[in-house]
């Protein structure tokens, strides 16, 4: 198609400024652009900066006094006299433009010549480091990431004080040129993983990049999959733990989330708190979480299947209670279930969008008033109300928000299949999802890893969490550069006598 | 004359343990539901001897197969299609490949149709064969499109899901009459052999290693997994046949079509009843990897004979053919007939054709002057 070709051929709509004069003219339209001529007794120059990006106090206090002093005669004098560690002298227009828009000051000797000094004076403004809001925890650190990438790197570097901890900076977005940092520990992280991440990010053709989760959707292995393939977290301690384990983390400027990759599906159900509790308790809670997820996915569809087709599965004693609660309901089980499921979804969505204070009221109105009223009015049965409420509760147990949305969503295909083919339908739908999960990869690594491919050693930190002295090897899944977490020989020497007898 | 060796990328291969799971899935599909009825017909309470012998006889056959494949590795790709073409020449080799393909096709259709029959009798009398097989084949299509490694993954998960079914044997203990096993060795060898013949059908399936052998990493290590899998199968079938004998009287077990399923009906939990329904739905899982592997083998066979046809297109044709054939089989009587037919073909394939092929390979190597 020739018109398609023509569209592809079209040049970038962005017309870059051809000379410094053009650039200044382009910028002068903005009211926050400051551009003035300074005329001193010995030296005169043009100073330009974006008022909103530059720390003005700092400029007045630390830059101008030197500029106005008597010792300065030319631009190189300024460079030597200013007490800054990093002053760039350049003629390159692209550098000037990007630095100007990042909050640097540009000093020129004459307005029309591109030769200039670039002095850093970025105003750091943003949220203070605050408590985590989504992934809250009772034990452990309460710091959460903020929107500034430098603060976030600072939070991680504090936890990884080693030179091997390295950062690769990339720019993404045709117009936005957003800063994206790939974090890894050299020698531990798998080189192949790292190269894949860097390549996928640098190959990205987007206009702008606003958030880390958006990046995850762009660089995922399967962008149509319902399941998130990378963990997003707002906890610096979790990122640090993952880096020590040999994973790669990605930070995006302006986003309070870090991406951890590659990840397996069980990691989405592991809270970071698990590592702060003794292992039997941590294991029990992990299993509880997995059970809750399974319950949340199939409970309402099982209700539909059993009541529509397989009533012989219900024990005799329970049958009475079911009949009593269902006798006043005029609808089929599937209509009843969909009604309540959609109601819960509405409540959740409304609760998420409304401000906190109103949101609480919404919860009370929705949960208590509509719930009991619908039962009393005879639109839904009591038992179903219990099941739906429990499955909604169980869905929120998942520590990761994106995974929680997935789990809530895949309930609906299950309900529809259950209506059509009963238990058989549920089984088929389940098969479809399991087959999809088998196929899915995260950064080219299998997504349901400790199960398939079967790696028994990786099970120690998947469904169960064994004590730390069992976990002295890094997961095989990551193919790390250094398989041992600790020096095995030294660890063995420190243990001492293997099994002392009673009273010895 | 020799087929062009098409090297398989390492990323498409599976580890040596895959042999264990694939052999398990191919051998234990749904036979353990009706094995008792098949086998006890001729040798009543001594049927377990026939099952034991049947299981033991798979070991030498497996040894032959592995030896055959190992020898073949130096002549190019070690799978049955290439072997037949190399030994018998292009024309006869292609004809044999066609026959083998029909066998594989029959394998998948027989199992698919018997499962549908079971579901129709046990759960949904009105379940449409067409609708179900279409839905089923869609899932199979999705898996086979992912390649060999996905099929291994599904068969692994199948193995895990079937475990509770095997563990359900525990519930037989309170109702068991172990005296039913007596007297031992009451029957003549001919009767035992008849039972042995009847249960080839349940052990058949391990010969599929002939097709996927080139896709196994480190095939030397895979050997032990292959034998271990045969041992597990033997154990499972032995347990199920003993279950059938000690739980039922002889008259009852020979009249029940699915003795294991009937036994499951006696299991009761306080929370829910009718475990048999849930278990027969879990059985569905065992069919997914089986039909997937069969379709995968067929696509490879077609690609081998007609290199121009892409696997992803021939797969669709194969699945449509599977659906149509499954639909054409009308009722339980025909399913039974198909199973009997399949039993005979399986017997010939395992105990006659594979030794013959081994012999032919040996002769071929002898005449071409290369020492094995």
Q: What is the pLDDT of residue A5?
A: 58
**How sure is the predictor about A4, in pLDDT bands with cuts at 50, 70 and 90?**
low
**Beta pairing, strands A248-252 & A88-90:** unpaired
**Cβ separation A424–B15 shorter than 8 A:** no
**Beta pairing, strands A231-233 & A248-252:** unpaired
Which residues of chain B does A436 touch, with a Cβ-Cβ cutoff of 8 Å? 142
Share of chain A above pLDDT 70, in %: 96
**Nearest 10 degrees: Cα torsion A272, A274, A277, A281:** 160
Nearest to A298 by CA among A348, A351, A337, A242: A337
Q: Does the structure show a pLDDT above 80 at A504? A: no
Nearest to A259 by CA among A398, A402, A406, A140: A402
**Nearest 10 degrees: Cα torsion B11, B17, B23, B25:** -80
Q: What is the pLDDT of residue A299?
A: 94
**How many alpha carbons lie under 13 Å from residue B337 in its C-beta half-sphere?**
6
Which residue does chain A place closest to B283, by CA atoms? A427
Q: What is the pLDDT of residue B126?
A: 87
Q: What is the pLDDT of residue B352?
A: 93
**How sure is the predictor about B200, in pLDDT bands with cuts at 50, 70 and 90?**
confident
**Residues B120 and B334 sit within 8 Å (Cβ to Cβ):** no
Q: What is the pLDDT of residue A367?
A: 75
Q: What is the pLDDT of residue A14?
A: 56
Mean pLDDT for all residues in chain A: 86
User: What's the average model confidence in pLDDT over A313-338?
Assistant: 89
Number of structural domains chain B divides into: 1
Q: What is the pLDDT of residue A483?
A: 83
Q: What is the pLDDT of residue B233?
A: 93
The H or E element that residue A34 is part of is: strand A33-39
**Residues A261 and A250 sit within 8 Å (Cβ to Cβ):** yes
Q: Does the structure show a pLDDT above 90 at A260? A: yes
User: What's the average model confidence in pLDDT over A34-56?
Assistant: 84
Which residues of chain A does B152 touch, with a Cβ-Cβ cutoff of 8 Å? 452
**Residues A180 and A313 sit within 8 Å (Cβ to Cβ):** no
**Residues B349 and B201 sit within 8 Å (Cβ to Cβ):** no
End-to-end CA distance of chain A: 87
Which residues of chain B does A299 touch, with a Cβ-Cβ cutoff of 8 Å? none
CA B99 – CA A435 distance, rounded (Å) = 31
Query: pLDDT: is A372 or B142 the higher one?
Result: B142
Biggest distance spanned by C-alpha atoms of chain A? 102
CA A53 – CA A50 distance, rounded (Å) = 5
**How sure is the predictor about A30, in pLDDT bands with cuts at 50, 70 and 90?**
confident
**B163 CB within 8 Å of a chain A CB:** no
Q: Given the structure tokens 């959609």, which residue do they identify?
A: A342
Q: Does the structure show a pLDDT above 90 at B369? A: no
Q: Does the structure show a pLDDT above 60 at A12? A: no
**Cβ separation B277–A314 shorter than 8 A:** no
ipTM: 0.91
Closest partner residue to B153 (CB to CB) among A424, A427, A438 is A438
**Cβ separation A313–B277 shorter than 8 A:** yes
Q: Which of A222, A416, A419, A435 should we substitute to test contact with B (largest number of B Cβ atoms within 10 Å)?
A: A435
Nearest to B225 by CA among B9, B372, B14: B14
Q: What is the pLDDT of residue A453?
A: 85
Q: List the domain range (segments joined by +) for residue B59.
A: 14-113+148-286+332-367
**Cβ separation B146–A454 shorter than 8 A:** no
Instruction: Flag whether B359 is in a domain.
Output: yes
Q: What is the pLDDT of residue A373?
A: 86
**Cβ separation A424–B271 shorter than 8 A:** no
Give the residue extent of every domain in chain A.
20-120, 149-263, 275-442
Interface size A-B, in CB pairs within 8 Å, comes to 81
Which residue does chain A place closest to B123, by CA atoms? A310
**Cβ separation B157–A438 shorter than 8 A:** yes
Least confident of A131-140, A285-294, B149-158: A131-140
Q: Which of A315, A429, A432, A438 should we substitute to test contact with B (largest number of B Cβ atoms within 10 Å)?
A: A438
Q: What is the pLDDT of residue A252?
A: 94
Share of chain B above pLDDT 90, in %: 49
**How sure is the predictor about A37, in pLDDT bands with cuts at 50, 70 and 90?**
confident
Check the CA dihedral A80-A83-A84-A85 and report its sign: positive
Q: What is the pLDDT of residue A16?
A: 62
- Nearest CA distance, B220 vs chain A (angstrom): 19
Q: What is the pLDDT of residue B1?
A: 36
**How sure is the predictor about A6, in pLDDT bands with cuts at 50, 70 and 90?**
low
- Nearest CA distance, B124 vs chain A (angstrom): 9
DSSP structure string for B140-184: HHHHHHT-HHHHHHHHHHHHHHHHHHHHGGGGGGGG--GGGGPST
Least confident of A107-111, A143-147, A183-187, B86-90: A107-111
- Nearest CA distance, B121 vs chain A (angstrom): 14
Instruction: Tell me the three state secondary structure of residue A174.
Output: coil
For A429, other C-beta atoms within 10 Å of its C-beta total: 24
Which residue does chain B place closest to A432, by CA atoms? B139
Which residues of chain B does A454 touch, with a Cβ-Cβ cutoff of 8 Å? 17, 156
Q: What is the pLDDT of residue A497?
A: 66
**B52 CB within 8 Å of a chain A CB:** no
CATH number for B207: 1.20.1740.10
> For A257, which DSSP code?
-
Distances (CA, A) of A336 to A333, A340, A417: 5, 6, 15
Q: Does the structure show a pLDDT above 70 at A10? A: no
**Residues A88 and A117 sit within 8 Å (Cβ to Cβ):** yes
**Cβ separation A423–B273 shorter than 8 A:** no
Q: Could you report the per-residue pLDDT of B59-82, keeping only the tens digit for each? A: 999 999 999 999 888 887 888 999
Q: Which two tokens stand for residue A372?
A: 């009991």
Least confident of A28-42, B98-112, B233-247, B354-368: A28-42
**How sure is the predictor about A128, in pLDDT bands with cuts at 50, 70 and 90?**
confident
Nearest to A108 by CA among A159, A151, A48, A56: A48
With an 8 Å Cβ cutoff, the interface of chain A facing chain B consists of 309-310, 312-315, 421-424, 427-428, 431-432, 434-436, 438-439, 451-454
**Residues B205 and B26 sit within 8 Å (Cβ to Cβ):** yes
Residues 326-365 (B) with a CB less than 8 A from some CB of A: none
- Nearest CA distance, B361 vs chain A (angstrom): 35
Query: pLDDT: is A154 or A132 the higher one?
Result: A154
Q: What is the pLDDT of residue A28?
A: 85
Check the CA dihedral A387-A389-A395-A398 and report its sign: negative
Which residues of chain A does B285 touch, with a Cβ-Cβ cutoff of 8 Å? 427, 431
Which residue does chain A place closest to B135, by CA atoms? A428
**How sure is the predictor about A17, in pLDDT bands with cuts at 50, 70 and 90?**
low
**Residues A452 and B157 sit within 8 Å (Cβ to Cβ):** yes
Edge-to-edge strand list for the sheet holding A231-233:
A165-172, A178-185, A248-252, A258-261, A231-233
Q: Could you report the per-residue pLDDT of A277-311, keeping only the tens digit for each? A: 999 999 999 999 999 999 999 999 999 999 999 88
**Residues B257 and B280 sit within 8 Å (Cβ to Cβ):** no
User: What's the average model confidence in pLDDT over A381-403?
Assistant: 89
Q: Does the structure show a pLDDT above 50 at B372? A: no
Q: Which two tokens stand for residue A160?
A: 């990884």
Residues 270-329 (B) with a CB less than 8 A from some CB of A: 270-274, 277-278, 281-282, 284-285, 288
User: What's the average model confidence in pLDDT over A160-180?
Assistant: 90
Which residues of chain B does A431 touch, with a Cβ-Cβ cutoff of 8 Å? 139, 284-285, 288
Q: Does the structure show a pLDDT above 50 at B2? A: no
Instruction: Tell me the three state secondary structure of residue A49.
Output: strand
Least confident of A118-122, A281-285, B251-255, B332-336: A118-122
Closest partner residue to A312 (CB to CB) among B127, B146, B274 is B274
Q: What is the pLDDT of residue B3?
A: 43
Share of chain A above pLDDT 90, in %: 37
> For A273, which DSSP code?
G
Which residues of chain B does A427 touch, with a Cβ-Cβ cutoff of 8 Å? 281-282, 284-285
Q: Given the structure tokens 């309070």, which residue do they identify?
A: A256
**Cβ separation A431–B284 shorter than 8 A:** yes
**B142 CB within 8 Å of a chain A CB:** yes
Distances (CA, A) of A209 to A134, A213, B255: 22, 10, 70
Q: Does the structure show a pLDDT above 80 at A451? A: yes
Instruction: Flag whether B177 is in a domain.
Output: yes
Which residues of A196-323 form beta strands (DSSP E)?
A: 231-233, 248-252, 258-261
Which residues of chain B does A428 touch, with a Cβ-Cβ cutoff of 8 Å? 135-136, 139, 284
**Cβ separation B139–A421 shorter than 8 A:** no
Instruction: Flag whether B125 is in a domain.
Output: no
């Amino acid at each position: 198609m020739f018109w398609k070709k023509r569209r592809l051929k079209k040049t970038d709509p962005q017309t870059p400024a051809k000379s410094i004069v053009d650039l200044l003219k382009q910028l002068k339209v903005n009211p926050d652009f400051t551009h003035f001529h300074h005329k001193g007794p010995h030296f005169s120059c043009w100073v330009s900066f974006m008022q909103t990006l530059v720390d003005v106090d700092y400029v007045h206090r630390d830059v101008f006094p030197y500029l106005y002093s008597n010792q300065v005669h030319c631009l190189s004098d300024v460079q030597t006299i200013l007490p800054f560690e990093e002053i760039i002298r350049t003629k390159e227009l692209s550098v000037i433009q990007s630095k100007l828009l990042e909050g640097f000051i540009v000093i020129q000797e004459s307005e029309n010549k591109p030769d200039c000094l670039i002095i850093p004076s970025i105003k750091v403004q943003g949220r203070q480091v605050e408590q985590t809001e989504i992934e809250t925890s009772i034990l452990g650190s309460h710091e959460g990431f903020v929107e500034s990438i430098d603060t976030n790197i600072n939070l991680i570097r504090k936890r990884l004080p080693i030179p091997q901890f390295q950062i690769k900076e990339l720019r993404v977005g045709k117009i936005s040129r957003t800063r994206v940092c790939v974090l890894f520990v050299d020698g531990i992280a798998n080189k192949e993983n790292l190269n894949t991440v860097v390549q996928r990010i640098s190959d990205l053709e987007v206009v702008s990049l606003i958030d880390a989760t958006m990046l995850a959707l762009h660089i995922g292995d399967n962008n149509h999959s319902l399941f998130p393939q990378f963990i997003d977290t707002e906890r610096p301690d979790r990122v640090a733990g993952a880096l020590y384990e040999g994973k790669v983390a990605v930070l995006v400027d302006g986003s309070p989330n870090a991406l951890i990759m590659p990840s397996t599906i069980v990691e989405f159900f592991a809270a970071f708190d698990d590592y702060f509790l003794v292992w039997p308790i941590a294991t029990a809670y992990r299993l509880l979480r997995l059970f809750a997820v399974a319950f949340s996915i199939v409970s309402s569809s099982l209700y539909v299947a059993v009541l529509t087709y397989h009533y012989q599965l219900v024990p005799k004693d329970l049958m009475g209670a079911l009949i009593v609660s269902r006798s006043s309901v005029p609808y089929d089980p599937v209509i009843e279930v969909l009604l309540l499921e959609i109601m819960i979804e509405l409540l959740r969505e409304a609760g998420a969008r409304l401000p906190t204070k109103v949101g609480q009221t919404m919860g009370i109105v929705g949960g208590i008033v509509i719930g009991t009223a619908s039962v009393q009015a005879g639109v839904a049965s009591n038992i179903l109300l219990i099941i739906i409420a429990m499955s909604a509760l169980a869905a929120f147990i998942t520590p990761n928000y994106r995974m929680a949305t997935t789990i809530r969503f895949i309930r609906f295909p299950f309900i529809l299949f259950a209506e059509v083919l009963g238990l058989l339908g549920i089984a088929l739908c389940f098969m479809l999802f399991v087959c999809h999960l088998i196929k899915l990869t995260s950064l080219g690594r299998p997504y349901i890893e400790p199960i398939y491919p079967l790696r028994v050693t990786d099970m120690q930190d998947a469904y169960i969490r064994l004590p730390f002295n069992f976990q002295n090897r890094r997961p095989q899944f990551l193919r790390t550069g250094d398989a041992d977490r600790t020096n095995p020989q030294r660890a063995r020497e420190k243990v001492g006598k293997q099994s002392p007898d009673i009273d010895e | 004359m020799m087929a062009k060796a098409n090297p398989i990328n390492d990323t498409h291969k599976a580890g040596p343990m895959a042999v264990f799971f694939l052999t398990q899935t191919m051998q234990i599909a749904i036979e353990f539901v009706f094995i008792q009825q098949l086998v006890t017909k001729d040798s009543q309470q001594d049927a377990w001897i026939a099952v034991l012998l049947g299981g033991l006889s798979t070991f030498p056959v497996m040894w032959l197969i592995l030896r055959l494949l190992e020898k073949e590795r130096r002549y190019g790709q070690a799978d049955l299609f290439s072997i037949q073409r190399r030994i018998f020449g292009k024309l006869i080799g292609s004809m044999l490949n066609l026959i083998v393909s029909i066998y594989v096709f029959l394998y998948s259709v027989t199992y698919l149709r018997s499962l549908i029959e079971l579901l129709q009798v046990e759960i949904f009398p009105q379940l449409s064969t067409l609708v179900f097989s279409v839905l089923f084949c869609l899932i199979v299509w999705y898996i086979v499109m992912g390649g060999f490694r996905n099929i291994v993954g599904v068969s692994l998960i199948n193995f895990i899901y079937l475990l509770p079914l095997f563990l359900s044997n525990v519930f037989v203990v309170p109702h068991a009459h172990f005296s039913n096993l007596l007297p031992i060795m009451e029957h003549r060898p001919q009767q035992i052999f008849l039972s042995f013949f009847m249960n080839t059908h349940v052990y058949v399936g391990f010969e599929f290693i002939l097709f996927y052998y080139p896709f196994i990493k480190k095939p030397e290590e895979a050997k032990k997994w292959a034998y271990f899998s045969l041992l597990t199968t033997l154990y499972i079938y032995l347990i199920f046949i003993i279950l059938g004998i000690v739980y039922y009287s002889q008259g009852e077990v020979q009249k029940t079509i699915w003795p294991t399923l009937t036994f499951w009906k006696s299991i009761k939990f306080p929370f829910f009843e009718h475990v048999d329904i849930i278990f027969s739905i879990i059985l569905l899982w065992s069919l997914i990897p089986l039909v997937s592997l069969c379709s995968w083998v067929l696509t490879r066979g077609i690609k081998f004979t007609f290199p121009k046809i892409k696997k992803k297109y021939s797969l669709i044709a194969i699945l449509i053919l599977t659906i149509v054939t499954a639909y054409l089989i009308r009722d339980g009587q025909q399913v039974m007939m198909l199973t009997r037919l399949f039993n005979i073909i399986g017997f010939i394939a395992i105990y006659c054709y594979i030794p013959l092929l081994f012999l032919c390979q040996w002769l071929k190597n002898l005449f071409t002057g290369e020492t094995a």
